[in-house]
Structure 1
């Protein structure tokens, strides 16, 4: 059985979270959390919270053993971006986009 956890509108750009997602895809949950704990990016802390949430959902809602869980699917989708304008010289304005993303983690018990 697959169990899912989603973090919506994280405020983190998808392009900066994707390298971390690629690093933990297909790993066991405890191994993924260990990799994220020592990752150089501050975005790893947010990703670790979503992985922990998926493991907690599996444990509390479906009585799965957390030690047997593996990340089956993990992906980052682009969410809405906040649009702001910054004042420039000569009365002009230039746009600023603050990108956001949705992080989805799906875990399942590994066979064997």
Structure 2
């Protein structure tokens, strides 16, 4: 039995989000929540909320023991990039790229 939770178009750089996702991949749910609770990155509370959603999806599917769940796969893909411009000296403009990410978490029973 697997449950999936996806978060799309979140305003995080995929490269920075992957660092946090790599910390919790393959761990049990409780251990992952403890790791994310003390992680200072911006991605940590977002990923924690996504894990709670995946656990709720598993409960909805009928998983008897939530403590037996672990993170089977967790991936971060690149989303669309928001392109903005900032004025610079002498009438020029510089491009600012605001990357987005798609985060997917799959939970399974041990």
If the length of structure 1 is used for normalisation, what is the TM-score? 0.94
Structure 1: gaps spanning 5 or more residues? none
1:57 positional shift: 0.3
* Cα RMSD, aligned residues only: 0.9
* SS of match in other structure, 1:8: strand
1:41 positional shift: 1.2
If the length of structure 2 is used for normalisation, what is the TM-score? 0.95
Q: Check the 8 A contact 1:36/1:48 in 2, yes or no.
A: yes
Q: Do structure 1's residue 78 and structure 2's residue 78 form an aligned pair?
A: yes
Q: Do structure 1's residue 100 and structure 2's residue 100 form an aligned pair?
A: yes
Q: Check the 8 A contact 1:85/1:94 in 2, yes or no.
A: yes
Give the equivalent residue in structure 2 for 1:46.
Answer: 46
Structure 2: gaps spanning 5 or more residues? none
1:61 positional shift: 2.5
1:66 positional shift: 1.2
Between the aligned partners of 1:64 and 1:40, the Cα distance in structure 2 is 33
Give the equivalent residue in structure 2 for 1:33.
Answer: 33
- Aligned residues, how many? 110
